[in-house]
Structure 1
Amino acid sequence: MINRELAAEVKSLMPSRERETDRNSPVSMWNEMDRLRGKPEPTTVVIFRTRGCSWYDFSSCSMCGYFNDVNTNVGMENLKAQIDKAYDFMENTKILKIFTSGSFLDRREVPKEAFDYFMKRMSDKVEKLLVESRTEYVTETTIKDMKSYGIDTRIAIGVESSNDYVVKNKVNKGTNFSKFINAAKTLQKEKVELRSYLLLKPPFMSEEEAVIDAIKSVRDCAPYSTDISVNPMNIQKNTLVEKLWKRGEYRPPWLWSVARVLLETGDVEADVLSYPTGGDRERGAHNDDRDQELVKLIFNSSLNQDFRELQEYYERGEKTKYFSHIRNENRLPVQYDIDSFIRKITSGSVKIQ
């Protein structure tokens, strides 16, 4: 379940969790659109500052930079102050998505007292809630406890891939697909909705491999999920993926690949969506030629679950560079960022024997 060499390398890049930050304020709060009740609705998003994911005590996921926002000195009163600010921030929205640097259901990260305070505080304002958790904290006890407050809740789990080899040797998640299934069955038994997060293009995978893996993972997760969010890689600070990217040994996925996954999984029962973080930017999913229209179509199609315009755009789009990249990448023994690799060769910094 753990590749210890990979885990050690990821750990070596993580900064100290001892830092001076505002412990009484969330990392960030904003409003966006999502479809947690079967239609696009304004949704408030809050990232709470906590002591961090319990997985950080050992390592981290290869792409996750949320440890940059943690503070080990966050205490109970700090968490309550953050909750109060989140409450005040919600004005015209009834939908709330909560993120921490780990798991909202982890009692080491969000102690029971803070959890109870949050649920009671939000019960008169929130009609739909989404929170994230690793699989190990999704138990009958934690779910029954959450349900007791009467807020309609969807649990989000970062599956990343249904392929255990990918999760172990590329993502460094410290879990496996059978644990996801067990957690999903617990949620099904308790009649609680599930959003499954999948990662498009972990490190050490070609573009084509990543697309194939994402499509298969969508199909594997669909029987257990209310919806599935396909998250194309974005480059976060102090991560293994950032280190590879800076050396020209990793390229974020193409927007065409995001579209392919959405269009090729439209027949599954769960909703499949994608809101690309950093889309059309260097650190996020992008084509060689910038394409804001494609980003908008991916967002809007996901929100409305109507992919006809995206299909039309994909079919008429100029994808010569995209498929050329895939062919060239598949010929390499290592999955470099092709353009960066060519620049290194032409500059003489890489010697070809």
Structure 2
Amino acid sequence: MINREYAKQIKKLMPNRESASDPNSPVSMWKEMDRLRGYPEPTSVVIFRTKGCSWYNFSSCSMCGYFNDVSSSIKEEDLYKQVDYAFRSLGETRILKVFTSGSFLDPLEVPIGVRDYFMEKAEANLDKLLVESRTEYINARNLSGIKNYGVDIRIAIGLESSNDTIVRESINKGSTFAKFVESARVLKDLGLELRTYLLLKPPFVSEKASVEDMIRSIKDVSNLTDDVSINPMNIQKNTMVEKLWKKGLYRPPRLWSIARILLESRNMGTQVISYPTGGNKIRGAHNQEDSIELLNLIFSASLTQDFSDLETFYNNSDKSSYFNDLCLEDSMVFQQDLDRMVDRLGAASMTV
């Protein structure tokens, strides 16, 4: 299940220092659009500062930089204050997405008392709630408490891929597709909804192969999940992906690939969305050329589930260089970012 040598190398990249930020306030909080109730609506998002993911204590996922915000000094009373901060900041929104540095349902990261306090406030202030968890915390005993509160809940699981080899050798997730399937069954039995995260272009997987894996993974989960979120890679600090990227040995995925996945999966039996973090920027999904129009169409199609404008733009655009790049990259061991490599070589020659 675990490539221990790979996990050890990822662990080495993680800094020893801890966040010195205010323990009484979340890492971040903002508002965005999502469709957790079947239509686009304003949604608040909060990232609570915690002691960190249970998996972080062993290693970390190859692309995840949430450990940059953890603090072992966080106390239970700090988390109560963070919850108060979040609900004071809701404004008029009645929809909230909750993230931590790991799993909201991990009682070592978010103690049961804090969770109950949060859920009491959620019941009074929210119509819809999304929280994130690894599969090991999704069981009837651990979830029984939150079922008692009168708020609709969707649990998000980072499956990343239904291919266990990719999960083990590329992502270092420490989980399996079988565990995801069991978690989906538990959620269905409890009447809770499920959002599935899939990761586009993890390290050591070509973009061409990853697009194929995304489409296959969507098929594999289509009858298990309420929706699927395609998360294209974005480069986070102190990660294996950042190390490769800085050496010019990794390139984030193209926006064209996200559009392809959305268009090819729209009739697979579950809603598929993508809100690219850092889209059209060098550390996020981007094409060779500026593609703000395509990025906006990806957001719009995801929110409305109307793919007609995205399809028209995609079909009427010249994508020959995109397909050529994917074929070239697919023949290589690494997913080289050729432009970055050229820039690095140019900078090196100037210092000689």
TM-score by length of 1: 0.96
Write the deviation string for residues 211-239 of structure 1: whole angstroms up to 9, x where unpaired: 00111111111111000000000000000
2:22 alignment counterpart: 22
- 2:334 & 2:129 partners in 1: Cα distance? 42
* C-alpha deviation, 1:170, in angstroms: 0.2
Aligned length: 349
- 1:325 & 1:340 partners in 2: Cα distance? 15
* C-alpha deviation, 1:332, in angstroms: 2.4
- 1:156 & 1:7 partners in 2: Cα distance? 24
Per mean C-alpha deviation after superposition, the further-off stretch among 306-315 and 319-328 is: 319-328
Matched, 1:156 2:156: yes
**1:190 alignment partner AA:** L
* C-alpha deviation, 1:150, in angstroms: 1.7
Contact 1:52–1:102, Cα closer than 8 Å, also in 2: yes
- 1:85 & 1:32 partners in 2: Cα distance? 18
Write the deviation string for residues 85-130 of structure 1: whole angstroms up to 9, x where unpaired: 1010011110000000000000000000110111112211111000
Contact 2:32–2:44, Cα closer than 8 Å, also in 1: yes
2:175 alignment counterpart: 175
**1:289 alignment partner AA:** E
- 1:193 & 1:17 partners in 2: Cα distance? 37
SS at match of 1:211: helix
- 2:120 & 2:150 partners in 1: Cα distance? 10
* C-alpha deviation, 1:280, in angstroms: 0.3
Contact 1:232–1:258, Cα closer than 8 Å, also in 2: yes
- 2:294 & 2:304 partners in 1: Cα distance? 15
* C-alpha deviation, 1:5, in angstroms: 1.0
Q: Identical aligned pairs, as a percentage?
A: 55
1:281 alignment counterpart: 281
- 1:96 & 1:125 partners in 2: Cα distance? 10
**1:143 alignment partner AA:** L
1:218 alignment counterpart: 218
- 2:245 & 2:40 partners in 1: Cα distance? 34
* C-alpha deviation, 1:335, in angstroms: 2.8
Compute the RMSD of aligned alpha carbons. Answer: 1.4
SS at match of 2:37: coil
1:316 alignment counterpart: 316
Q: Which runs of 5+ in 2 are unaligned?
A: none
* C-alpha deviation, 1:17, in angstroms: 5.5
1:123 alignment counterpart: 123
Contact 2:225–2:270, Cα closer than 8 Å, also in 1: yes
* C-alpha deviation, 1:343, in angstroms: 5.5
Per mean C-alpha deviation after superposition, the further-off stretch among 81-90 and 143-152 is: 143-152
**2:40 alignment partner AA:** P
TM-score by length of 2: 0.96
* C-alpha deviation, 1:151, in angstroms: 1.2
Q: Which runs of 5+ in 1 are unaligned?
A: none
- 2:41 & 2:347 partners in 1: Cα distance? 50
* C-alpha deviation, 1:327, in angstroms: 2.0
- 1:127 & 1:331 partners in 2: Cα distance? 49
Q: Kindly report structure 1 stretches of 4+ aligned residues shifted beyond 4 Å.
A: 341-349
